Structures are given as structure tokens and as C-alpha cells.
């Protein structure tokens, strides 16, 4: 029947889990809101229950499951399998790897959720066959995962890939990390919405004003109005793309990837994002480092985190 891996993608609003085969194909998945995870004890107990239920429903024998991987949003002590502190979930100092291994009796690996998404794209998404790549996720924030010579790069304290906190604007706006001018302040959904609100507050004319006043503005609307020529929307998107181009130029001379894979909700803008991003990158990048580098949309969508989390154990099993 082959071997299987369980992947869990724990996010601020939901926990997604699924069963993944040796080719990186997601066979079945389920989702549960993390609002029920009122404490680590309750959350981990629900996690174990959800995993057992999924295994029962698939009919796969535990003997054929080689391990479980979990992608987590926040600060981790990966060598010790511990959560230091999660983002948007009030968990701190949780020995999650040991707990899950004791309860499920399978090997468990943990990693940052952006790293897991990058590994998923490398295994069965846009990065198949690419051994040196950087995955940038554009959502509420700007996340990243770096793969060099086929393996994830973590760095000495696990902070490699936190690309959203690279400064691209001197004396720019304050970031959630405490620094100023991080690319996340310009190129994330949060940053773009803030830039529109600031423009409206300054009295600039824009068709986005009503949505700002109603508190209903979404990034998709900014792109739609930019396509119609709205000057504020065009300016905000231009600023976001300029920041990304600067970021990618920096990363090119640090890691020299073969490709950048762009994921997250903003990446769905298609050519309206990717064509000017290619130009911005070319403007700032060292030509010797950027020659032939591809900028590719991610393929796996919301499944990347599940597949990549399972891939953490596939790596251990020498399948990936």
C-alpha cells in the first residue's frame, strides 16, 4: 500500500491537516478552527484526536505511516522540538514534538510554517526540480522559506527566511517587529491597506475612499481599482512591487537562487503583479546574480503548508 506522511498546518485561524503519499500528493484533508484551542493542553488534545480520526477515515494502517510534520507560525526551538512563542495563538514554551510522539507513537518534526510551504512547493508544486529557490509568501505579512541544494536553510537560531523583516526603506514606517522600513510594511496586505488609508486621510482622491470609511477595504479591490487607473491604488501597488523588487535583489546576492516562487493571497493578482515585479527586480538586482532567475507563481495554494509539513518527515525518511 506504500508509505504515508501526516502534515499539519497550524495557522492563526485554523488547523489544516492531511495525508500525503510518497510523491507529495495530498490524499485527504480536514480543517478545524483554532479558536477552540484555548490552551496548549486543549489544542494538542484536539490535534491528536483529529489526526486519529483522519487516519481511521482513510483506512491507512499506522504501520504504513512513517511520521508527522507540523508547520507552526512563530518562534521555535527546532532542535528541541519546542514552541517558544506562537503568533496569534497564545502558546509559549510548549514541548510539542515530545507530546505528539508520546500520544501518536510516530516520529514528529516541526518547522516554521513559511518553511513548510516552501518545502511543499519544492516537493510537488512550482519548485519541482529546482534545488535552489526562495519562496516568498505575500499575505497578512511577508514570509519566506529558503531552499539551497535541495534543503531548507534555518540558520543558527532558526531565523533564516524571515525575509519580511529586511529593510528596504530607510526611516520607513514602523513594523510589527519594532524596526522601520521592513518590506512587510510596504508589500504585505496589511501594509498595502495602511498605505491606502494614509492616502485617504491626506485627502487624496480615490475610488477606494468609501471602502476605507466603511472598514471593508480588501487588497483585491486595490488591484481592481489600479487596473481601472485609480491613482492611489496604482501608487500603492507600485510601492509594494518596488519593495519586493528591492528585497529580491538583496536575496539574489545572498543566496543566488534559480527561482523565486511567489505565493499567498496577493500572488493571485497574476500578470498585473508578476510583470512589473520582473521589471522591478531587474532594475535593482546585480545582473550576474539575476541572469536567468525565474519569478514563478506558487501552485499549491493553501495546501502547500500541509504538504510541506509532511515533507519534513519525508526528508527524514529519505523519500524526498
Q: What is the pLDDT of residue 153?
A: 96
What is the Cα–Cα distance from 176 to 137, expressed in whole angstroms?
Answer: 17
Q: What is the pLDDT of residue 1?
A: 65
pLDDT tens digits for range 95-142? 999 999 999 999 999 999 999 999 999 999 999 999 999 999 998 889
**What DSSP character marks residue 141?**
S
Q: Which residue has the cell 509559549?
A: 92
What is the Cα–Cα distance from 96 to 157, expressed in whole angstroms?
Answer: 18
Q: What is the pLDDT of residue 176?
A: 86
What is the Cα–Cα distance from 187 to 193, expressed in whole angstroms?
Answer: 10
Neighbours of 140 (CB within 10 A): 17
Q: What is the pLDDT of residue 35?
A: 86
Sorted by where each starts, the structural domains of the chain and their CATH numbers stand as: 4-121+302-317 (3.30.420.40), 130-297 (3.30.420.40)
Q: What is the pLDDT of residue 304?
A: 97
What is the Cα–Cα distance from 320 to 304, expressed in whole angstroms?
Answer: 15
- Rg of the Cα atoms in the chain: 20
Q: Are 71 and 112 in contact (CB under 8 A)?
A: yes
Burial of 112 (0-12, 13-18, 19+ CB in 10 A): buried
User: Which regions in the chain score pLDDT beneath 70?
Assistant: 1
The strand order across the sheet containing 4-10 reads 26-33, 14-21, 4-10, 65-72, 108-112
Q: What is the pLDDT of residue 283?
A: 97
Q: Are 154 and 78 in contact (CB under 8 A)?
A: yes
Q: What is the pLDDT of residue 293?
A: 96
Q: What is the pLDDT of residue 21?
A: 97
What is the Cα–Cα distance from 114 to 96, expressed in whole angstroms?
Answer: 18
The pTM score is: 0.93
Amino acid at each position: 500500500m506504500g508509505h504515508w506522511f501526516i502534515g499539519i498546518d497550524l495557522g492563526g485561524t485554523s488547523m489544516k491537516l492531511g495525508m500525503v503519499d510518497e510523491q507529495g500528493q495530498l490524499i485527504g484533508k480536514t480543517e478545524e478552527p483554532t479558536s477552540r484551542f484555548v490552551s496548549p493542553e486543549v489544542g494538542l488534545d484536539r490535534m491528536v484526536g483529529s489526526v486519529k480520526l483522519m487516519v481511521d477515515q482513510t483506512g491507512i494502517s499506522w504501520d504504513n505511516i512513517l511520521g508527522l510534520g507540523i508547520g507552526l507560525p512563530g518562534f521555535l526551538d527546532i532542535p528541541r522540538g519546542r514552541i517558544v512563542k506562537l503568533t496569534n495563538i497564545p502558546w509559549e514554551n510548549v514541548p510539542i514534538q515530545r507530546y505528539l510522539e508520546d500520544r501518536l507513537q510516530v516520529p514528529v518534526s516541526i518547522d516554521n510554517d513559511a518553511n513548510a510551504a516552501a518545502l511543499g512547493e519544492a516537493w510537488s508544486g512550482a519548485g519541482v526540480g529546482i534545488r535552489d529557490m526562495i519562496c516568498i509568501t505575500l499575505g497578512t505579512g511577508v514570509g519566506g522559506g529558503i531552499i539551497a541544494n535541495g534543503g531548507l536553510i534555518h540558520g543558527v537560531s532558526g531565523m533564516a527566511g524571515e525575509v519580511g523583516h529586511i529593510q528596504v526603506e530607510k526611516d520607513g514606517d514602523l513594523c510589527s517587529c519594532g524596526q522601520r522600513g521592513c518590506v512587510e510594511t510596504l508589500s504585505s496586505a496589511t501594509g498595502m491597506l495602511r498605505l491606502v488609508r494614509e492616502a485617504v486621510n491626506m485627502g487624496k482622491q480615490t475610488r477606494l475612499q468609501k471602502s476605507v470609511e466603511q472598514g471593508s477595504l480588501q487588497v483585491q479591490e486595490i488591484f481592481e481599482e489600479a487596473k481601472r487607473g485609480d491613482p492611489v491604488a496604482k501608487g500603492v501597488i507600485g510601492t509594494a512591487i518596488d519593495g519586493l523588487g528591492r528585497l529580491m535583489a538583496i536575496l539574489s546576492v545572498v543566496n543566488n537562487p534559480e527561482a523565486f516562487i511567489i505565493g499567498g493571497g496577493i500572488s493571485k493578482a497574476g500578470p498585473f503583479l508578476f510583470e512589473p515585479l520582473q521589471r522591478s527586480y531587474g532594475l535593482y538586482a546585480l545582473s550576474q546574480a539575476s541572469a536567468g532567475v525565474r519569478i514563478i507563481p506558487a501552485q499549491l495554494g493553501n495546501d502547500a503548508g500541509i504538504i510541506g509539513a509532511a515533507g519534513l518527515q519525508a526528508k527524514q525518511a529519505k523519500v524526498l
